[in-house]
Chains A and B, each alone.
Chain A
Amino acid sequence: MSAVRQFNTRAHKALADSQLQRALAKARSGFVDKRAHAAASEPDFEHMRDQAREVRQRALANLAMCLEQFEQQVLAAGGQVHWAETPDDLRRIVIDICRDSGARAVTKGKSMVGEEAHLNVALEAAGITPWETDLGEYIIQLAKEPPSHIVAPALHKTRGQIEHLFRDAHRLGERALDEVSQLVDEARAVIRERFLNADVGITGANMLIAETGTAVLVTNEGNGDLTARLPRTHIITTSFDRVVPTWDDASKIIRVLARSATGQPITSYTSFFSGPRAGNEQDGPDQFHVVLLDNHRSALLGTEFETMLHCIRCGACMNHCPVYQAVGGHTYNAVYPGPMGAVLSPLLRGAPQDDALPNASSFCGRCEAVCPVRIPLPGLMRKLREREQQQTPAIASRWLLRLHARLSRHPALYRSLTGWGSRALALAAGGRGRLRRIPLLGGWSRERDLPAPQGGSFQQQWQARKGRG
């Protein structure tokens, strides 16, 4: 089955899934309205977006230097930096650190790079139990599903579905779990014990600051901090493109990140981690590791796709995408869904099924309009489509387009054929003025009628009017 047809099959299933549609409807109004309110109530918001974009451009323009500086500072603080070319390398590095720490259970904060490397599967295979601590990640871990959104991983789940998952996993007896507050309290109690017992904590990073070798972590729940600061070992799984030069630069990103993602001026917690616990500190890890993943990102530098590395992972593009809103994240069958995923997934994974993703767009342009760092997402999708078209053999619709292109270079032939064509269509429509079914275009005409041409072609009418004028 072709990639496009597979996508369409999943999309049809998603559209018919009433639970999913109910969950998506809630997300649609929530995210979009909150961002609109945040943007409207901050007079400097457009200015903030320009500043954030400038930071991303400057960071990438000085990338090697920023990374060397970052590494030097982490080492000076007593931490370690590991370089992973592939997801496989990242898995191996993380498992080796866990084994050296004698870890049997690890707490995990949300990390998209961890998802990209399918870290949980590898940890389990190595006999290490991964405990997800972000509520959304915890829910999908129980459901054994991948995330459907980069900020709200369990966005596709309804309250009722979450209650069922908790009842299956927690042995709750008769306790009520009808309210959102009861669900959150239930997860809080279970996960609290895990924070206190984990040997290793694994988190992602929203940014890396070169000047001091600092990892920045942004959360609302506080799970990232408990994951980072209570276990003896803290591992940060991230990609090298997260680096920014200075703390002032990090502030420019922080200002647009939460506003674009959840409509908050800032998240409840923004934490800056620089190395292991110092002498007189009571909390903090003894070991501090940063794992930097490449996974084809370095191949994007200096190419027409470089701006994709500006992405700060706020999720605004998918929140505002009519395709994502209709079919949800799982339809994309990729770690990164929505418009940013439609560009990033084919570039990072390059699997044949990813060819469909840049085509899953109406090119309405809302993703680019809301992107805090103004990534030209439709333009990048268009380039990926062109690339795909050059690589794949032509199909019937492209032959038709080529035929049309030839024909339009011969005006006389074109005119006479369209004249005959419109007369034939009018005849086929009979007295109804419209066609119910069109041969070879069954898919198009299943949902709509084609109005039959009334009278002559545009050019014939133009000629006639000129004669009268």
Chain B
Amino acid sequence: MQSARERILGRIRKASGPGQAASAGTADSQALIAAQPAAQASLRPIDDVPAEFCQQALAAGVELHYCDELAALPAACAKVLDAQARLTVSTAQALAHMHWANSVQPYVRGSIEVGLVQARLGIAETGTACFDSRDVPSGLLFLSDILLVVLDGRHLVDRQESAWQRLGPVGSALHLVTGPSRTADVEQTIQVGAHGPRRLVLFLVGGGLAQVVARHTQPAPSLITLASSP
């Protein structure tokens, strides 16, 4: 007797004709799967990647800050947190060996006040941070009330396709995070903090992005200052 697998695949092959003859894993199938139609034009180029990243992240509700170097991070974190807030730092990363103003708790699945994690990459087109499950336990990203994300300013890419190329093989989960957790299930009203973080604070570190971040996070100059400039 045939298995359900064989019956379903049999029906699929029968319906789709001879092109389905190649079996998985052969060079043929690899080539066919990877084949992108040549005529397919690419999307518009993103010229200023850091600027696009900042703009999109802010639009997604991310609180954005800049540090010149990793050593400046503890002071920057202390500025955005209550002194009493307890910190949980992902242990597999450089952050684990630094000293913080707030008390540090080990990661335990439960309610976490503040999670501090380092992202692999930032994707400009949507202001997204990428996390590999080999670096950061998934729970820390989703159980923290406030999530502090550290992202190297030199690890920004334009679009998802570039991110896949740059990341290479990843762990059992890759999480793309764009802003805090939210829901619109009660009367289509957007409410932040559904199950995951209520705040997402992102520190871009290095890459000479001080001006770009400042331009996007500070209020636009008023008309009076514009008028007084030559």
Contacts and interface: CB of A to CB of B under 8 A. Distances in A.
A330 to B, nearest CB: 17
Contact of B20 (A65, A181, A192, A283): A65
Interface string A177-198: 0001101110010011001100
Interface string A60-76: 11111111110110000
A416 B41 CA distance: 61
A85 B20 CA distance: 20
A77 B170 CA distance: 12
B175 A271 contact: yes
A21 B153 CA distance: 49
A65 B188 contact: no
Nearest to B167: A247
A136 interface: yes
Contacts of A267: 178
A301 interface: yes
Given A61-B16, A135-B194, A225 B37 contact: no
B220 interface: no
B177 A245 contact: no
Contact of A281 (B111, B141, B172, B196): B172
A64 B33 CA distance: 11
B183 interface: yes
Given A30-B188, A85-B8, A210-B33, A283 B133 contact: yes
A460 interface: no
Contacts of A302: 15-17
A135 B173 contact: no
Contacts of A294: 4, 8, 11
Contacts, number: 263
Contacts of A298: 8, 11-12, 15
B177 A192 contact: no
A220 B186 contact: no
Interface residues of A, number: 98
Q: Summarize B's interface: helix, strand, loop or mixed.
A: loop
B113 interface: no
B107 A282 contact: yes
A221 B182 contact: yes
A245 B34 contact: yes
A222 B195 contact: yes
A185 B182 CA distance: 11
Contacts of B37: 54, 58
Contact of A184 (B7, B41, B43, B194): B194
Interface stretch (B64-72, B93-101, B156-164, B209-217): B156-164
B139 A283 contact: yes
A266 B16 contact: no
Given A222-B196, A246-B34, A301-B12, 7 more contacts: A23-B187, A61-B16, A220-B181, A222-B142, A230-B109, A251-B164, A283-B133
Interface of B: 3-5, 7-9, 11-13, 15-17, 19-20, 22-25, 29, 32-37, 40-41, 43-44, 56, 59-60, 92, 107, 109-111, 125-126, 128, 133-134, 137-143, 159-161, 164, 170-189, 191, 193-197
10 contacts: A23-B187, A154-B185, A184-B191, A223-B194, A225-B138, A270-B128, A275-B172, A277-B133, A280-B92, A283-B139
Interface of A: 23, 26-27, 30-31, 43-44, 47-48, 51, 54, 58, 60-69, 71-72, 77, 83-85, 89, 133-136, 139, 152-155, 158-159, 162, 180-181, 183-185, 188, 191-192, 195-196, 210-211, 220-223, 225-226, 228-230, 240, 245-248, 251, 254, 262, 264-278, 280-284, 288, 292, 294, 298-299, 301-303
